[in-house]
Amino acid sequence: MKKFPLTLAVAALSVSAVVQAKTVDAVASFSILGDIVKQVGGEHVVVKTLVGPNGDPHTFEPTPQDAQALSKANVVFISGLGLEGWINRLISASGYHGKVIVASDGVSTRSMEEDGKQITDPHAWNSMKNGIIYAQNVMNALIAADPNDAAYFRQHGTAYIEKLRTLDHWALDTFEKVPPAKRKVLTSHDAFGYFGQRYGITFLSPVGFSTQSEASASDVAKLINQLKQEKIHTYFIENQTDPRLVKQIASASDAKPGGELYPEALSNKGGVAATYIQAFEHNVKVLAAGMK
């Protein structure tokens, strides 16, 4: 029987390990989704996030560098439901022909009125029940993209999903302790519909689902009257929007500041909302404290 030198055997094992250990090049549309992909994918995924921390996914303008990132990607993740109105143009410009994973697939959507029309609310991830669906879709997509590391993705994904389930129950318990009459707040734009639906909170805002919408003078006047009538005493600003209008409305209605929320974008690294989990925890704590 022919024997191979030990060094050759070790080299062969090393090559085999390199072949099996794949890194998935992923592109995610915005920071919250990008973090979910990172948490599930761990060391077997490299994520390029298009709309970064404190960025607004409604007003985002892709660059040639973004198109280049898509052209090299193994898989692209978007939230869907109309959030990324610019994504089809970007995909076309990039020449990307791979899979586009819609992370919101399977979510029970809600409708909202925008300029007299009924549209689908795109902010599904703000309910942690939906965040679990996002994570499950991401896990399944990564397994399909890299079957050799399926066990790794299942382990990471399942552990992460359990954390999200725990957070969902914690949020339900937290707001259950707040009297229903106090579960009403003013925010910059209508991004908390799924959050409010899941946790029993009424959110009012001067602007619709998109930060590109503009509030009319009559809409602002109606909102001020509503805040006074319903005795809503707290307003919250959002990290990715201009706070001037909501502050103006709050001043006219005697509402006081309750803090900053992170509904569509994470904070910078090291900030209070640098991950999806941290952002959700922060939003729950700040809202609950403001209601009291």
**Domain for residue 214, yes or no?**
yes
pLDDT, average across residues 208-232: 62
Residues in the chain: 292
Judge if 125 and 251 occupy the same domain. no
Judge if 68 and 199 occupy the same domain. no
φ, ψ dihedrals at 238, nearest 5°: -120, 145
**Domain for residue 15, yes or no?**
no
Judge if 206 and 267 occupy the same domain. yes
Q: How many angstroms separate the CA atoms of 111 and 25, rounded? A: 34
**Domain for residue 3, yes or no?**
no
How many whole angstroms from its chain centre is CA 154? 21
**Domain for residue 1, yes or no?**
no
pLDDT at 85 over 80: yes
Helix (H, G, I), strand (E, B) or coil at 132: helix
Q: Is the CB of residue 120 less than 8 Å from the CB of residue 82? A: yes
pLDDT of residue 139: 98
pLDDT at 241 over 80: no
Q: Is the CB of residue 107 less than 8 Å from the CB of residue 133? A: yes
Q: Is the CB of residue 30 less than 8 Å from the CB of residue 57? A: yes
Domain boundary among 129, 145, 169: 169
Of residues 127, 135, 172, 181, the one with CA closest to residue 33 = 135
**How many distinct structural domains can be found in the chain?**
2
Better pLDDT: 19 or 192: 192
Contacts of 292 (CB under 8 A, 6+ apart): 178, 182
Tally Cβ neighbours within 10 Å of residue 55: 18
Better pLDDT: 59 or 270: 270
Instruction: Return the CATH number at 267.
Output: 3.40.50.1980
Beta strands 111-114 and 117-120: pairing type? antiparallel
Average pLDDT, the chain: 85
Judge if 163 and 184 occupy the same domain. no
Judge if 28 and 130 occupy the same domain. yes
Judge if 80 and 192 occupy the same domain. no
Judge if 162 and 192 occupy the same domain. no
pLDDT, average across residues 238-248: 66
Residue 273 structure tokens: 């909302």
pLDDT of residue 10: 43
Domain limits at 83?
A: 21-169
Domain boundary among 143, 169, 195: 169
Model confidence at 5, in pLDDT bands (50, 70, 90)?
A: low
Judge if 199 and 277 occupy the same domain. yes
Domain boundary among 118, 144, 169: 169
Inter-CA distances, 264 with 59, 88, 279, Å? 12, 20, 10
Judge if 53 and 150 occupy the same domain. yes
Lowest mean pLDDT among 54-63, 159-168, 246-255, 278-287: 246-255
Judge if 120 and 144 occupy the same domain. yes
pLDDT at 178 over 80: yes
pLDDT of residue 95: 95
Model confidence at 206, in pLDDT bands (50, 70, 90)?
A: low
pLDDT at 167 over 60: yes
pLDDT of residue 220: 67
Judge if 114 and 146 occupy the same domain. yes
**Domain for residue 4, yes or no?**
no
Judge if 105 and 187 occupy the same domain. no
Relative orientation angle of helices 150-176 and 276-291, to the nearest 10 degrees: 0
